[in-house]
Amino acid sequence: MKLYSGDLSPYSARVRLQIYAKGITDIALERPSTFGTPEFRKAFPIGRIPVLDIDGDMLPESEVIAEYLEEIYPQPSMLGATPRETAHIRMVARIGDIYLMNNMFMLSAQSRAKERNQGIVDLLGGQVVRNIKALDKLIGTDGFACSGRLTMADCALVPGLFLVENVLPATGMENPIPAAANVAAYWAAIQKNEHAARVLAELHRGLEERRELIRSGAFEKMMAKAAAAMAAAEA
């Protein structure tokens, strides 16, 4: 199998963290060469990474991939020991995915916009702040998100919190993590976990590369070229 992935893709990082924590070594990690082009959209209609290539059968969506991998490689389990514990892990993972990563992903363009759209920042950034406060009441206080060990909840929270800490301030909003004591303690502790540290190093490397492309003006040109190719393909 192959995982189409990218250093800075938080959704891909979620699956990579699961792969590293499970010790899976037979899934190749690859950045798709056609990512962002009409060819990629043709092959993968949702047009996003990660995509798991199961011997030519393409499976998109990080949460779906994560659940699939959990069934294929059940040990070590990253779910609960009981159905209720698993449900709690999935609920916290959804906070990482829907309430943090999704809002942050939609907001990220405002961090590099020439003219920031304050309405978008207030709406999406406001949701992130609200959801960090909610997470503070639900997160484990022993260094892990749930169950005192690395679970699927950590896989979704680590990239989500990475975006909150590193991208939200670039939109003019304050990082809400330090004000949420339980989230702050979790965030400090989980960064010391070897598997979380590995994906965080990849995310930081991706962010540095992206910021360099933005500084040099290359990113804007790449985006314009991709948009023109997409428009031509749809015409």
Ligand X SMILES: N[C@@H](CCC(=O)N[C@@H](CS)C(=O)NCC(=O)O)C(=O)O
Contact positions toward ligand X, by CB under 6 A?
Answer: 9-11, 47-50, 61-63, 105
Question: Cα–Cα distance between 201 and 28 in angstroms, integer?
Answer: 19
Report, in Å, the least distance between residue 89 CB and ligand X.
17
Report, in Å, the least distance between residue 148 CB and ligand X.
26
Q: Tell me how crowded residue 108 is: count the other CB atoms within 10 A of its CB.
A: 19
Closer by beta carbon to ligand X, 105 or else 186: 105
CB 15 within 8 A of CB 66: yes
Complete DSSP assignment for 115-184: S--HHHIIIIIHHHHHHHHHHHHHS-SSSSSBTTB--HHHHHHHHHHHHHHHTGGGGTPPP-STTSHHHH
Closer by beta carbon to ligand X, 140 or else 159: 159
Closer by beta carbon to ligand X, 106 or else 179: 106
Question: Cα–Cα distance between 208 and 167 in angstroms, integer?
Answer: 12
Q: Whose CB is nearest to ligand X? A: 48
Report, in Å, the least distance between residue 8 CB and ligand X.
7
Report, in Å, the least distance between residue 11 CB and ligand X.
4
Closer by beta carbon to ligand X, 4 or else 187: 4
